[in-house]
Structure 1
Amino acid sequence: MATVAPTTAVASVAARIERLPQSRWHTKVRTVIGAVTFFEAFDQLLTASTLPVLTKQWHLTAGQGTEIITSSSIGMLLGAVAAGWAGDRIGRVRTVALGVAITAVASFAVAAAPGFALFFLFRTIQGFGIGGVVPVAATYINEIAKSERRGRFVLMYELIFPAGLAAATLVASWVVPTFGWRALFVIGGVPAILIAYLQRRIPESPRWLLARGRAEEAERVLAGIEAEIATEIAASGGEELPEPVLTHVREESRGSLRDLFAGRYLKRTAVVSALWFVAYYVNYGTASWLPSVYTSHFHLKLQTALDYTLLSNLTGLVGCLVVALLVDRIGRRPALVLGMGGAALALLVLAASGVHSGGQVAVLASVATLFVYATNVTLYLYTPELYPTRTRAMGSAFGGVWNRLGIIIGPIVVGAVLSGGGDLATVFAQLGCVAVVGTVVALFATETRGRTLEELNS
């Protein structure tokens, strides 16, 4: 078992990370991890774009359609659980690389699936990889960022995720009608080429290394980062790195799952878990069924349905950009409250209006997506801030478990309402009410703006 890092060493690493200015090194790391995250997001939403075609090709029932939509989510739930343990035990970078490998190989297997059963199996395995990558990658990016403008730094990275979702819909709108659904999953296997580069060029988190008692390795990694940034500063004629300013931090415990429910962490875990569940229940309860709703309820052409779905993902990307620019100014709690509140309002207005046309759904669902995406991306920033280094990946992954439960249950409930003869107004009304609950929960969120990870957990 790893030894606990001395308090002075923890403070020193934190102080040295805090003194590093934004640099090309940060951009390089954010870009590489971002490329991985982009394809994980791309792979996550492929089923929604292919479901209308699969339903006709394999004569799927409504229940089988629901199972296909939730297959990757089941895998992501299991992957999040495994990644929480792995990220805190074997390292952030190694866990991300392993998840990418699983995602890529499984994507090729999905492309070759001859029918419903194997598609479900391979898509579940692919989801396992996606679920392992996303929370641990967010944890890593948080750990290399300084407290000043950490929100903007992390969320500009997180923009890659909704960009991947939008790209999946954009590519699907061309690839599926032209080359068929299998080609879409072949494209989803591209991340395989990123694995070797990721492990060669991205150093492990110094905070994690120190927390695992690997002080010499943490020193070597951090010294290498400092040297690269110092060289960049010298080449541009800038001043030398300032001396690190140490602050008092408490020595961390060894870390276990039960620590997420001890003392002040109980409230943090309860609030953030509820927010993860609600935000993704609303997001995927809406997004997973939209293409099928457009084609089956409004009898729109597949191309039109995919274009409308793309509109929603593009507005979601706008919401993420807006919150990335504002989150360090307004704080995490207001961003979460406004995000859930805006989504609730748009969905309830849609329900009250009677849901008369596909265009009407496209516009108001896109407004709801703008707000709920802003909430989702804020949670990827917010959750790792709430926990100490030894349980940070576990805490992020535990939030990811509730995320996946929302992703699974939201589409199931919507599917049950639709297959049970319920109308679309009922669907959007219940989604809006769930978003109202999320708005209330967000009022109890702990504010983390402008404080180091050590200050928040000392």
Structure 2
Amino acid sequence: MTTVAGKPALGSIAARLERLPHSRWHVKVRFLIGAVTFFEAFDQLLAASALPVLMKEWHLTTGQATLAVSSGSVGMLLGALAAGWMGDRIGRVRTVALGVAVTGLASLAVALAGGLESFSLFRFVQGLGIGGVVPVAATYINEIARSDKRGRFVLLYEMIFPAGLAAASLVAVWVVPNLGWRAMFVIGALPVVIAVLLPRHVAESPRWLLSRGRTEDAEREIARIEVEVARHTAAPLPAATADIPDETGQGRLRDLFRGRYLRRTAVLSGLWFVAYYLNHGISTWLPSLYTDRFGLDLTTALVYTLLSNITGVFGTFVAAMVIDRIGRRPALVAALSGATLFLGVLALAGAVSGGQVALFASCTTMCLYAVNAGLYLYSPELYPTSNRAKGAAFGGLWNRVGVIVGPIVVGAITASGGGLELVFAQLAVVAGIGAVIALCAVETKGKTLEQLNS
């Protein structure tokens, strides 16, 4: 066992995690953290589901509608910054629980909003929680996964995010027309219960505990995990290997922009921006485009939006099945190239009907959701434990920038009288740029987190 000043080093904790066979403990943890991620995704799409009704009820202009949608995204941007620091400072689990509590309570406040100003304010607060939870939760899942199957393990967990988006669309199909948009935000407050239960049932990351010098706590948590896994598998645990190198890094923010991490951070930031610029540039406006441009009724518009989210779940599943075999870089390049193709077809074909847009937009989201999930796997792999949450959250910062800018650009094009061909053409160009950026990504498949950062 590797030691530092007589204490177990990170490599030994990593080796003990690496030897653990998949068990009901992994399923339990992935389910509990996944429930958090599900509702964060559900809450993220609430504004888009409510937007067609809000525009009529409050007589919103395109600019006001953009504010209603983008206020949550601004909160997510700031939330990602704060949560990255907190995740490395106070722990993964505590940060996730706090973010979930903020998300749920703010959702209740949104449900009581009396106008655009209060709606936007409370969506901003809700965004603080959503933006902080998702990257830190992904960091935690990465830290408990084995290197040889980390891609599948994390991406199957990440499927819960597009499932949450799909659930928001599915629930909205019935709830919004029958109970009103406020009922959607009441449902979005359910995660408050999870925030209370999470710290009691999910062990803190042993990797993080040891990186903070809390050796006894790390030993206690890893021993507790080992006992539970052994009980569930009803077999002795395999022997731990002793050749995993120790990590370098002191947990300073500036380390993300120095040495080999500068390239990683630059590529990751570009990919995050492109992925979410595309995703939200499309998804935020789809329900309104279906109703305003093609004259579809609200139910049909929401069903078409649901179709896009379902194909997104499928795209994430396909990525989970292949990413450990083909690698992170080829998977990202292929998915972004596919998005470029489908958006290009929409631009060239002229987007002449709601059904046509729904078909190719759904093919696009199939690719984009695979990219999004892949980035939640890829981001934590690129940084040492002491900086992992900050690194993942910094990528999350750029996805929030994309979330903000994408809908604004699409809204500006449509408000100025630009055709849908122009909307999809500029999205196709951005997707193509993303594919080129992905070619510069560092490959991480099959390596432990420590090997990638030693």
* Normalised TM-score (structure 2): 0.98
Write out aligned runs for 1:344-355 (5 A): 344-355=340-351
| Residue 451 (structure 2) aligns with | 455
Question: What SS does the corresponding residue of 1:300 show, helix, strand or coil?
Answer: coil
| Residue 319 (structure 1) aligns with | 315
| Residue 305 (structure 1) aligns with | 301
> Against the structure 1 CA distance between its residues 232 and 353, is the aligned structure 2 distance closer, same or farther, given a 3 Å change threshold?
same
Once the two structures are TM-superposed, the CA of residue 9 in structure 1 deviates from its matched residue by 1.2
Once the two structures are TM-superposed, the CA of residue 148 in structure 1 deviates from its matched residue by 1.3
Contact 2:7 2:215 in 1 (8 A): no
Once the two structures are TM-superposed, the CA of residue 6 in structure 1 deviates from its matched residue by 8.0
| One-letter amino acid matched to 2:348 | A
- What CA RMSD, in Å, does the superposition of the two structures yield over aligned residues? 1.1
Contact 1:152 1:325 in 2 (8 A): yes
Q: Count matched residues.
A: 451
| Residue 373 (structure 2) aligns with | 377
| Residue 74 (structure 1) aligns with | 74
Contact 1:5 1:251 in 2 (8 A): no
| Residue 228 (structure 2) aligns with | 228
Question: What SS does the corresponding residue of 2:296 show, helix, strand or coil?
Answer: coil
- How far, CA to CA, are the matches of 1:20 and 1:245 in structure 2? 11
- How far, CA to CA, are the matches of 1:327 and 1:222 in structure 2? 28
> Against the structure 1 CA distance between its residues 276 and 5, is the aligned structure 2 distance closer, same or farther, given a 3 Å change threshold?
farther
| Residue 276 (structure 2) aligns with | 280
Contact 2:247 2:451 in 1 (8 A): no
- How far, CA to CA, are the matches of 1:28 and 1:201 in structure 2? 9
| Residue 406 (structure 2) aligns with | 410
Contact 2:247 2:450 in 1 (8 A): no
1:136 paired to 2:139: no
| Residue 264 (structure 2) aligns with | 268
| Residue 60 (structure 2) aligns with | 60
Question: What SS does the corresponding residue of 2:97 show, helix, strand or coil?
Answer: helix
Contact 2:274 2:431 in 1 (8 A): yes
| Residue 291 (structure 1) aligns with | 287
1:175 paired to 2:175: yes
- How far, CA to CA, are the matches of 2:417 and 2:441 in structure 1? 38
Contact 1:151 1:381 in 2 (8 A): yes
Once the two structures are TM-superposed, the CA of residue 5 in structure 1 deviates from its matched residue by 8.7
| Residue 197 (structure 2) aligns with | 197
Question: What SS does the corresponding residue of 1:204 show, helix, strand or coil?
Answer: coil
- How far, CA to CA, are the matches of 1:302 and 1:397 in structure 2? 35
Task: List gaps (5 residues or longer) in structure 2.
Answer: none
1:342 paired to 2:338: yes
- How far, CA to CA, are the matches of 1:106 and 1:382 in structure 2? 30
Question: What SS does the corresponding residue of 1:268 show, helix, strand or coil?
Answer: helix
Deviations 1:405-446 (A, max 9, x none): 000000000000011110100000000000000000000111
Residue identity (%): 65
Once the two structures are TM-superposed, the CA of residue 12 in structure 1 deviates from its matched residue by 0.4
Once the two structures are TM-superposed, the CA of residue 7 in structure 1 deviates from its matched residue by 9.0
* Normalised TM-score (structure 1): 0.97
Contact 2:314 2:366 in 1 (8 A): yes
Q: Which stretches of structure 1, 4 residues or more, deviate above 4 A after TM superposition?
A: 4-8
Once the two structures are TM-superposed, the CA of residue 251 in structure 1 deviates from its matched residue by 4.7
| Residue 89 (structure 1) aligns with | 89
- How far, CA to CA, are the matches of 2:232 and 2:297 in structure 1? 53
| Residue 218 (structure 1) aligns with | 218
> Against the structure 1 CA distance between its residues 396 and 5, is the aligned structure 2 distance closer, same or farther, given a 3 Å change threshold?
farther
